[in-house]
Amino acid sequence: MASLLIHDCLNSLANIFTARKCDAHGHFLPDDAPPPPHSPKLPDDWSPYHNQLEFELAEFLFTHAEMPVKKIDALLEIWAASMLELGGEPLFSSHSELYHIIDSTCVSNVKWENFTVRYNSGDQDNDAVPWMSDMYNVWYRDPRQVVHNILASPQFTNEMDYIPYREYNTANDQRCWENFMSSGLGKKWY
């Protein structure tokens, strides 16, 4: 069994796992085989946004502030008024334009799919709460394809553990439980 010292923890690697590189069909590749070609975006390509500022505002309003549409519209109106004095134009005219650009952001080639669900108890109760009779759209992307794209991303090239291991703190010999591959889930491997 191999061991590796990382930070203050000792990784105990199982020697039965090799994590050998293979192609899409499962055929092993030489250890020095280059990764498949990847064509990254240019550093100044913020499409579908016009520029980095537009992207950062959309990210802040949608992801961090989680601002309601009425407040987004109020903010954009104030911003537009300030830009008129300077002869400029606001980044977005309304929440609708903001959401349209966010929705057109392409992060992968995995298509959105949807289906409709509703509660069905079998009983037709006239006193049922309204949500029980409403229809709901569920939108999703094929999880298998999403995971495939994540694993193929060059951002994770040196950030992934391909084999399970046990990690121990070198100061007190306590087991470290920080990483998924060190969790001991699944089959016992040693």
62 C-beta neighbours (distance < 10 Å), count? 15
What does the pLDDT look like over 27-78, one tens digit per residue? 888 878 877 666 667 788 888 899 999 999 999 998 888 889 999 999 999 9
Model pTM score: 0.47
Can you tell me whether residue 148 is helix, strand or coil? Answer: helix
Rg (CA), the chain: 25
Looking at residue 161, its amino acid is D
111 C-beta neighbours (distance < 10 Å), count? 8
Tokens of 12: 């105990």
**Helix ranges (DSSP H) in the chain:** 52-59, 69-86, 95-103, 143-152
How far, in Å, CA of 114 to CA of 116, rounded?
7
Looking at residue 146, its amino acid is V
What does the pLDDT look like over 134-175, one tens digit per residue? 899 998 889 998 888 888 877 777 777 777 777 788 888 888
